[in-house]
């Protein structure tokens, strides 16, 4: 196959940052062919009010006409009914829970899931989705997801009607927890966790551009992630967790966590699905399953990706992308958007 035509896709987990850089990252998402992106709220200050959510969405959509910003808010235990209702009325689809200190700008995160149960109860009532950064802050770094998901059965028992997304699943334990938790629990999968293991980051020379949270895991975890992505199970859909940091923040003694994948995400996925003889399943993974879980209509229109060599640029707006300087088998420049 030399080309692949897809319904226009969604990215259900993306970081667009703040200020003028946000405009560049939003345009990258639009130009990559995405119709909608679910925008994470861990900015400074965080997106935790209706006013901030509305202003952030307006900035994104003004910078990148044609891209729809789907909005989230940052969960903190003090959010009350009035604040949550206002966020819901402002268009929030989901609230994002960050455990304390596990990733970028999460120092004010929640220590225990139980500390936010009152917020979850209101979210369940309003029909908001709970997005979880699934890492336990007290666990060993490679085990943080496995320890965190032990709390999912109690969460589900307390909130049986709450829709839950375990974000950027990275481990076999995370996958098993999602599979065991019924149709109201789903998971996003990233391109970088599908393509790389911890050895790619630290097995030879340290590659800071592969440093992310949650960490890349073992080959057996990656094999399970690929199996889930290719399975056609609607509980698993695409969320890039594309997380840009300027080069000097990545190539530093204290390296920031995040991989910038937005401009080439569809090319990376096309290559992976093609290598596994599953190109016919890519559209559902990027264009259908996430929309259906969030109760959104499917996007109109299509785009066509071409199987032709494409050289990954050394940088976008001062940010080094994943696989910079290499050549991919599929071109990320969509035709027919």
HSE at residue 163, side-chain half, CA atoms within 13 A, is: 15
HSE at residue 269, side-chain half, CA atoms within 13 A, is: 32
Torsion of CA 246, 249, 250, 253, to 10 degrees: 160
Catalytic residues: 241
Using alpha carbons, select from 117, 130, 195, 197 the residue that is nearest to residue 162: 130
Q: Which residues in the chain show pLDDT less than 70? A: 106, 335-337
The Cα 324–Cα 320 span in angstroms is 6
Main-chain phi, psi angles of 32, to 5 degrees: -75, -10
The CA radius of gyration of the chain, in Å to the nearest whole number, is 18
The Cα 156–Cα 190 span in angstroms is 24
Q: How far is CA 289 from CA 30, 269, 285, in A?
A: 20, 15, 6
* DSSP string for residues in 193-233: HHH--HHHHHSSS--GGG--SSPP--HHHHHHHHHHHHTT-
| Entry pTM | 0.96
Using alpha carbons, select from 286, 336, 285, 327 the residue that is nearest to residue 307: 327
Look at residue 1 in the predicted model and tell me its pLDDT: 80
Residue 43 corresponds to which tokens in the numbers above? 């900015």
Using alpha carbons, select from 238, 239, 187, 192 the residue that is nearest to residue 212: 192
Helices (H) and strands (E) in the chain, counts: 14, 12
* DSSP string for residues in 99-115: BTTSSTT-TT-BSSGGG
Domains of the chain, first to last: 8-300 (3.20.20.140)
Look at residue 62 in the predicted model and tell me its pLDDT: 98
The Cα 203–Cα 195 span in angstroms is 15
Look at residue 337 in the predicted model and tell me its pLDDT: 43
Residue 129 corresponds to which tokens in the numbers above? 């989705």
């Amino acid at each position: 196959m030399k080309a692949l035509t897809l319904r226009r896709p969604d990215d259900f987990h993306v970081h667009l940052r703040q200020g003028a850089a946000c405009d560049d990252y939003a345009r990258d998402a639009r130009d990559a062919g995405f119709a909608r992106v679910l925008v994470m709220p861990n900015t400074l200050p965080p997106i935790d009010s209706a006013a901030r959510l509305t202003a952030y969405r307006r900035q994104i959509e003004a910078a990148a006409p044609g891209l729809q910003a789907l909005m989230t808010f940052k969960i903190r235990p003090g959010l009350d009914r009035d604040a949550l209702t206002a966020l819901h009325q402002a268009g929030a689809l989901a609230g994002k829970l960050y455990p304390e200190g596990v990733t970028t700008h999460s120092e004010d995160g929640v220590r225990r899931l139980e500390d936010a149960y009152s917020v979850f109860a209101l979210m369940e009532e309003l029909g908001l989705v709970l997005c979880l950064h699934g890492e336990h802050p007290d666990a060993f770094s490679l085990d943080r997801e496995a320890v965190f998901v032990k709390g999912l059965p109690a969460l589900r028992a307390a909130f049986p009607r709450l829709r839950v997304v375990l974000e950027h699943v990275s481990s076999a334990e995370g996958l098993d927890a999602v599979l065991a938790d019924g149709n109201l629990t789903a998971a996003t999968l990233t391109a970088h966790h599908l393509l790389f293991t911890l050895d790619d980051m630290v097995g030879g020379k340290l590659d800071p551009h592969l440093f992310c949270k949650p960490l890349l895991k073992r080959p057996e975890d990656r094999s399970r992630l690929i199996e889930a992505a290719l399975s056609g199970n609607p509980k698993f859909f695409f969320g890039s967790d594309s997380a840009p940091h300027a080069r000097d923040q990545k190539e530093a003694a204290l390296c920031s966590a995040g991989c910038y994948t937005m401009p080439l995400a569809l090319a990376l996925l096309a290559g992976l699905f093609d290598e596994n003889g599953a190109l016919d399943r890519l559209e559902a993974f990027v264009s259908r399953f996430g929309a259906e879980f969030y109760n959104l209509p499917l996007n109109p229109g299509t785009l066509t990706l071409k199987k032709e060599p494409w050289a990954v640029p050394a940088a976008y707006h001062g940010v080094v992308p994943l696989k910079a300087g290499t050549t991919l088998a599929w071109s990320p420049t969509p035709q027919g958007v």
